[in-house]
Chain A
């Protein structure tokens, strides 16, 4: 799994660009051009989504090592998963209109950002030993790695904001 090295003061919540402002309400304060890049990337992937394309393999993993069980699951839920993916990948468009999101909106956006990470990470052949900070600016994939790092940072911020609204745990 990947890990985020946090550079900001973890207690300085008010400076976080994605933060909880009230129960189940969240504020996203990011540069407009970044939001546009993310929304465009999400739209591109959503429009090209194809289960048979190996580039999207991580978005549609097998549900079982048993082919019969997997086939039954795919018959039942594959279309629903595709639709959920599309919805999440397009969720970034809402942020071009307003920057305060409901829990459902932030959750969808986070799932879409994570789906982009999965697609980009697959393309880059990410391994647990990779450190994007060690790549030079002249590396041919430097731009893609930079986007991957930004996506990682945003997904981490979303989880932090959403964690405060988790219901009390039922299993210890």
Chain B
């Protein structure tokens, strides 16, 4: 086991310098992000429809319309918004096994 080292109560109160993270490419904060679902030969049409209804609150008709767009055109936009929302939407789609990506609109 390691022993905890006590930190002096009178530690420095000087501002800490924070190194700016390298975000690589810069993104326009005002432009929304879109989430795309891509066609794949494995996921069932009924399953994709159900997942779109469940995750985004779509009516059955709208979910089927988007599912068919994915099937026939290869992809469809299923949500849009700030980057954090797009990341969460992609994660939930991935969790259900759908092939989803995000990009800035």
Contact = CB atoms under 8 A, between A and B. Distances in A.
Interface residues on A, range: 35 or more
A166 B23 CA distance: 39
Interface residues of B, number: 39
A171 interface: yes
Contact of B91 (A62, A77, A122): A77
Contacts, number: 124
Contacts of A65: 101, 103
Nearest to B71: A1
Contacts of B25: 66, 68
Contacts of A3: 44-46
A58 B25 CA distance: 27
A129 to B, nearest CB: 9
A2 B87 CA distance: 26
Nearest to B70: A1
A156 B44 CA distance: 8
Given A63-B102, A65-B103, A162-B50, A111 B97 contact: yes
Interface of B: 23-25, 39-50, 53-54, 56-62, 67, 70-71, 87, 90-91, 94-97, 99-103
Interface of A: 1-4, 58-66, 68-69, 71-73, 76-77, 80-81, 84-85, 88, 111, 114-115, 117-118, 121-122, 126-128, 130, 152, 155-156, 159-160, 162-163, 166-167, 169-172
Given A2-B41, A61-B101, 18 more contacts: A1-B44, A1-B48, A1-B67, A4-B44, A58-B40, A60-B94, A63-B102, A66-B25, A69-B102, A81-B95, A111-B96, A111-B97, A114-B97, A128-B41, A156-B46, A159-B50, A162-B54, A166-B50
